[in-house]
Chain A
Amino acid sequence: MSVLVDEDTRVVVQGITGGEGKFHTEQMLEYGTNVVAGAVPGRGGQEVAGVPVYDTVQQAAREEDANASVVFVPPAFAADACFEALDADGLDLVVAITEGVPTQDMSRVYRKLQETDTHLVGPNCPGVITPGVAKLGILPGNIFSSGNVGLVSRSGTLTYQVVDNLTQRGIGQTTAIGIGGDPIIGTDFVDALELFEADPDTHAVAMCGEIGGEDEEEAARFIGEHMDTPVVGFIAGRTAPPGKRMGHAGAIVSGSGTGTAESKINALENNGVPVGDTPEEVADHVEDLL
């Protein structure tokens, strides 16, 4: 089994006629994903990689019975694309890949999200993959393998690294969720952990966090109070100096000692979560727990 994405996932690609949208639609199709429609205003009636394009997400969802969308729309229009997906009937998953979405735009999307039952993953994320079944996003499918470990991460390339460490020693994954490194995101660690806890086929979870914010501390409390499935942690940014932003908009250590790698590692360890010093050690811990 899996979370968020399975063989019944039917995907609309928003921005399918753009360079990224087209390329990754082809990649998703090749991986076996049911990409059933594209949505681009003014391009209704066209086809991209054999996929029919509609002018609106609503039309695409209605005509092709879609239940998920992936957003490959430039930053200035990305929030509007998310609103459109959240407004369309029948979509229960929206994955926003776009990097560089203004934070205030996301704040409004986040508010809208509270009124719906839809899961939004991202923005600024690599996407969601259920190995061997389907991927929604830009993750390189070939490094993943099917198995019983769930993975949730704030960083795309770090996801690849940890998955590689797992796959290399024969540990497969149920689903990997890249939640994104922005200050305001849809699905956070706690949401993802909740999904994995409820999935009987996920026997352990690897969680990759980083400096900045307090999401990892919150996740640690959630694990301590609500989870039976074992979790292994990793925190990037131990060497980051305070006040400097390390790439991700969220990855900044505040001057006053919150959001540091140390506080996150302590929070996790105090709630029974072993934390690897290296990605290789994360795989060691996961292996021990299985």
Chain B
Amino acid sequence: MRLHEYQAKQVFADAGVPTPASQLAETVDEAVDAAEEIGYPVAIKAQVHVGGRGKAGGIKLVENTEEAREAAEDIIGMDLKGYHVSTVLVEEAVDFVNELYVGVTMDRGEGEPVAMVSTKGGVNIEEVAEEDPDAIAREHIDPAFGMHPFQARKVVYEAGVDRDVANDVASVLTTLYQLWDDRDGSDVEVNPLMITSDDEVVAADAVMNIDDDALFRQPELSEMAEEASEGDELEQKADEYGFDYVRLSGNVGIIGNGAGLVMTTLDLVDYYGGEPANFLDVGGGAKAQRIANALDMVFSDDNVDSVVFNIFGGITRGDEVAQGINQALEQFDEIPKPVTVRLAGTNAEEGMEILNEELVTVEHTLEDAVQRAVEYAKEVEA
């Protein structure tokens, strides 16, 4: 779960990382008032989870009231790479001489956290990592001990940070690691960390991604993250139902159990010439109501022309699944979209007997079910 910039900045500021003066605004008037109060120049920044906001017109630097109004009018309500901008952060523009990147993330290959510093801040750090990996100094941290102070200094000097600000940068890094550790971060970053002509360090942006699996022990962040949740209506509905769901651009709706099997079903739809409309994993042990909810979700996607169910029961029982499918379909006078079902594994035979074959098409193998669903989708399109 990713926090918005303004939320992450609040968390960082509370922990002692220097941040510029800023205010959140939801209307143009609020934005202008905030700018007057902070004093020009200010940056007006769209609060959406999109990388490269500046290039996409989501961040503007303004010098006076007129410019502030114009920028706020442009940004509030705009569509930024598919995300609707409803709030902006109005922030003191920092006069800087240098920009750094400072961050902590999980190195999954090594199974331990890594602290990183680069003097190539202010740009897309993923590109730097790819094109010039040596420009990022790295230090792995033993998660049992945490980060020793010398490790913070080591990586800061290794990166070639100016001696005059090295201690302050090391202190920011130490704080980021503590936040990462205490708050179950997956990525905690400042990019850019600006260095002013007075050798002050200021966090001009803030990234905080929290491990979804740890939200149960981070109630405060969990609440913030809920506020920060974004996505279209269907993705929000999936959150409510508790499904792993990703909307895609095709027209074959896909419901299955288990991430690997659902991904495989998507791939097979593509392999047989169709286009998947979504990834929907009902998870393990889904009962009838959950199956009905899944069908409701996929039916409410207007792009879907045909639906395929692929269930391989382990914990999940085929008879429960079949009941859920019947239950969801029996409420329609006419089935809105053709449904193809493939059941295997635990209680699959019982499930096949229960399934109302007037409502669905039953197939016995994964390959047959996917091909049938793709055919149906093509018939609808034709």
Contacts and interface: CB of A to CB of B under 8 A. Distances in A.
A245 B281 CA distance: 12
Given A102-B211, A103-B211, A246-B259, A184 B312 contact: no
B223 to A, nearest CB: 18
Nearest to A114: B111
Interface stretch (B68-76, B115-123, B266-274): B266-274
A245 B266 CA distance: 14
A153 B260 contact: yes
B366 interface: yes
A204 interface: no
Contact of B313 (A103, A106, A140): A140
How many chain A residues sit at the interface, stated as a range, is: 35 or more
Given A75-B213, A158-B261, A211-B263, A103 B106 contact: yes
B215 to A, nearest CB: 9
Interface string B291-324: 0000000000000000000001111000000000
A255 B130 CA distance: 11
A138 B244 contact: no
Contacts of A160: 261, 312, 314, 344-345
Interface in B192-246: 211-214, 216-217, 244, 246
Contacts of A102: 184, 211, 213-214, 217
A248 B264 CA distance: 13
Nearest to A23: B315
Interface in A220-239: 234, 236-239
A280 to B, nearest CB: 6
Q: Is the interface of B mostly helix, strand, loop or mixed?
A: mixed
Contact of A184 (B108, B181, B270, B314): B108
Contacts of B214: 102-105
Contact of B345 (A110, A140, A250): A140
A216 interface: no
A255 B367 CA distance: 30
A208 B260 contact: yes
Nearest to B109: A214
Given A164-B344, A247-B279, A250-B108, A103 B186 contact: yes
Contact of A213 (B109, B213, B276): B109
A66 to B, nearest CB: 25
B259 A247 contact: yes
A101 to B, nearest CB: 6
Contacts of A107: 106, 111-113, 143
B363 to A, nearest CB: 14
A100 interface: yes
A108 B217 contact: no
Contacts of B144: 108, 111-112
Interface string B130-164: 10000000000011100000000000000000000
B266 A248 contact: no
Given A164-B312, A184-B106, A280-B367, A103 B260 contact: no
Nearest to A254: B126
Given A111-B111, A140-B314, A279-B264, A249 B213 contact: yes
A183 B105 CA distance: 12
A287 B181 CA distance: 49
A4 interface: no
Interface in B353-368: 365-367
B257 interface: yes
A126 interface: yes
The 6 closest A-B pairs by CB, nearest first: A155-B260, A247-B259, A157-B258, A158-B260, A157-B261, A102-B214
Interface of B: 51, 106, 108-109, 111-113, 126-127, 129-130, 142-144, 181, 184, 186, 211-214, 216-217, 244, 246, 248, 256-264, 266-271, 276, 279, 281, 284, 312-315, 344-346, 365-367
13 contacts: A100-B213, A101-B213, A104-B113, A143-B345, A157-B314, A161-B261, A183-B106, A184-B108, A214-B109, A246-B279, A247-B259, A247-B279, A277-B271
Given A103-B214, A139-B314, A247-B263, 5 more contacts: A102-B214, A184-B111, A236-B267, A239-B267, A248-B260
